[in-house]
Amino acid sequence: MSVLSQYAQHLLQSYSNNPRGKYVSLFIVRRVESEAIFRTEGSGEPLNKEFVHAGSDANSPITQRVVISKRKQTAVERRTGRELLRRFNLLFATKEGICSLNANQPCEKCIDCMVYGYAAGGGGAQRSRVITDDAFSLHAAPQITDTRMFNAPFDNSSPWLPKGEGSDKDKRMTGLGADEYVRPETLFLDIETMRDLTPGEFQYALGNVLRSSRYGAIASRIGKVRNTLAGIAFSDCELFSNLELTQHSYDLLRGGAAELDFPLADTAAVQAMRESILALRRRVMGQVTILDADATGALVAELGDLYGNEDALRGDLRETTRAYGRGLPDNA
């Protein structure tokens, strides 16, 4: 018996259009492994930050934390999944070409459309069954941020372009500026909640989280992130927020110190996160089944075996796609 099949009662056995109240919460520690920039859009924009209470007590001092916005998380993970579907020819054709993000041409049939949702200009829509929220840094913003100058020299590696080399007069470099960035080894605590997924859909969505590795701006050069699954909870309702979890974990890790050490081992954050989950679970009005560390590790190992076997993975994705009752793409 597979590890996931032991929890089959918490997942749908077939896709349903109607809410069934079967939730799976993924507790994730996102560890920045290079410089990273989490901002809204455009060069020169400041990092996303929010002033919040440092700990869970209402009298806790106010601090500023860096934020990874919800859309910046799922957009990356969604592209990771679509890359896989494209490799196995499991994206359907549309009137305009092939199923594409942000092009108003969803196929309305592939796993990505059905799990993460779509809104077609012509009228069709599917609500996302992956629920996200802003992820907050465990440390205060002043501890984990810095500023770096950048420039854009000419081909001769200098800030000057002499007259005659592509210009009728001497030119001086104008591409000079500064970016605020998040330092390596910064930790963000996050909950990603999945609702009413089948086993195949759950494996696809969890695989996207664990396989995604670049987040934020300028991701082709910076923004390396490692996602560690600290725990999983099955429930009949949504649980607590990212902010509550971060504040409670902060209290446990800080102890009596004025502030957290930086950098902090992600193993310490994982342990604090697991203790916080058990404590905050008492506030939840519903049924909750929390997997222990061994069960979580076994499920991740099983998923790793699946993704390491191309034929098995292709078969599972094809079966999940067929389950929507719309067949497979012609070239699948």
Spatial separation of the C-alpha atoms in residues 220 and 59, rounded to whole Å: 42
> Is position 154 within any domain?
no
> Is position 327 within any domain?
no
In total, how many domains does the chain have?
A: 1
> Is position 165 within any domain?
no
DSSP per residue, 10-77: GS-SS--SS----EEEEEEEEEE-S-B---SSSTTPPPPEEEEESSSSTTSPEEEEEEE-HHHHHHHH
Over its length of 332 residues, how does the chain's per-residue pLDDT go in tens digits? 689 999 999 999 999 888 899 999 999 999 999 999 898 765 557 899 999 999 999 889 999 999 999 888 999 999 999 999 999 999 999 888 888 887 778 899 999 999 999 876 556 788 899 999 999 999 999 999 998 766 555 555 555 556 555 555 555 555 556 678 899 999 999 999 999 999 999 999 999 999 999 998 887 888 899 999 999 999 999 999 999 999 999 999 998 777 899 999 999 999 999 999 999 999 999 999 999 999 999 999 999 999 999 999 999 999 999 999 989 998 87
> Is position 330 within any domain?
no
> Is position 52 within any domain?
yes
- Model pTM? 0.89
Say if residue 310 is exposed, middle or buried (CB neighbours under 10 Å; 0-12, 13-18, 19+).
exposed
> Is position 86 within any domain?
yes
Print the domain residue range for 204: 4-144+182-322
Beta bridge partners of 66: 49
